[in-house]
Amino acid sequence: MAVKEIAGGECSAADTDMASNGTGSSVHRSEPFPDARVLLGRYGLAAKKRFGQNFLISDRVFRAIVDATVRSDDDWIVEIGAGLGTLTARLAERVPEGKVIALERDPDMVAVLRGELGGVDNVDIEAGDALRYDLRMVARWRGDAIAVCGNLPYHIAAPLLFRVIDARDVVRCAVVMIQKEMADRIVAAPGTKAYGALGVMIRTYADVSTVARVGAGAFVPAPKVDSAVIKVVPLAGGAPRVPIADPAHYSTVVHAAFGQRRKTLRNALRAVYDEAAVDAALAASDIDGGRRGETLDIADFGRLAASLPALPPTKPR
């Protein structure tokens, strides 16, 4: 796949961003939107480790994210972790007939967003937890599919991605910055070291491509790891790539197959399922139980899940 290599860099003085003129319409600023270092100084703030904050300062990466996210000027975009508003402003400029819903959990960042973008007519600032935010509700407001983007806090990136997958029938695409190691796992091919349950589960329901690789110097403060921007495009109608009767059961099978990577598929599955059921399912799906779980592709997992009986529900404690 083609990958754009992106290095760190500062915002271009030639850029313009959107502000409200107070009459319900939008106008361009004569100066670029302040970068993260300026805004942190203006509000007397610093990045907080507990929120996983690293603020993007590379204009080239901003441009890559916006270009990959925006399809038309009336898009509705939910931005996860809007932070200081540096991406929010650029998105708002590109969707003058649409809307950017800026989600932010940190009260200090919410204050910055309201101070810098509170008057912009196509920006809604929502204080709250993205893990609890109802993407379907936004799609109902719009009456059409929405886009999602953001620089995801690394420690909750996986559950945030699964929130998108859960709402895949109303999400047109998601363009997100995540840790490079996680991005590599999501796009990895069967049989490779990085291939695992995370990539299988996301790519069962969506196409995934790499938009940009991002060095640590593109952020302030610089993280200890490199990052990547990926684009997740749910399959048409939210349908899975293979027939799946029970998504929860399919997930259990996938995770069981990778649960003990040094063991054969047969023994890994036997750690979760009845031995006889495993042997019967492998025979019915025409899959060699001596293979390793990481050699199976999504079609294999679909056949295997269809052949294995679902586990009985656990009794409440």
Quote the number of domains for the chain: 2
Query: What does the pLDDT read at residue 47?
Result: 87
243 exposure class (CB count in 10 Å sphere: 0-12, 13-18, 19+): exposed
Structural domain containing residue 291: 247-307
- 155 inside domain: yes
pLDDT above 50 for 10: no
Q: Is 32 helix (H, G, I), strand (E, B) or coil?
A: coil
C-alpha 138/C-alpha 126 separation (Å) is 12
Residue 312 lies in a domain: no
H or E segment to which residue 276 belongs: helix 275-284
* Residue 299 domain-assigned (yes or no): yes
- Domain final position from 238, 261, 287: 238
Q: What is the pLDDT of residues 15-54, one digit of tens each?
A: 333 444 333 444 355 578 999 999 999 999 998 888 888 9
Instruction: Say how far apart CA 210 and CA 229 lie, in whole Å.
Output: 6
Instruction: Let me know whether 180 and 299 are in one domain.
Output: no
Using pLDDT thresholds of 50, 70 and 90, give the confidence band for residue 260: confident
Q: Is the pLDDT of residue 241 over 80?
A: yes
Whether residue 284 sits in one domain with residue 180: no
Q: Is pLDDT of 240 > 60?
A: yes
Distance spanning both ends of the chain, measured CA to CA: 48
Residues 179 and 261 in one domain: no
Record the pTM.
0.87
Same domain, 157 and 48: yes
Alpha helices (H) along 16-100: 36-43, 59-69, 86-94
Q: What is the mean pLDDT of the chain?
A: 89
CATH number of the domain encompassing residue 293:
1.10.8.100
Three-class SS of residue 27?
Answer: strand
Alpha-carbon distance 51 to 85, whole Å?
16
Residue 28 has what pLDDT? 52
Residue 13 confidence (pLDDT) above 60: no
Average pLDDT estimate for 249-276:
94
DSSP notation for 108-176: HHHHHHHHHHTT-TTEEEEES-GGG--HHHHHHHHTS-EEEEEE--GGGHHHHHHHHHHTTTTEEEEEE
145 lies in the same domain as 272 = no
The first and second tokens of residue 114, run together, are 């309201």
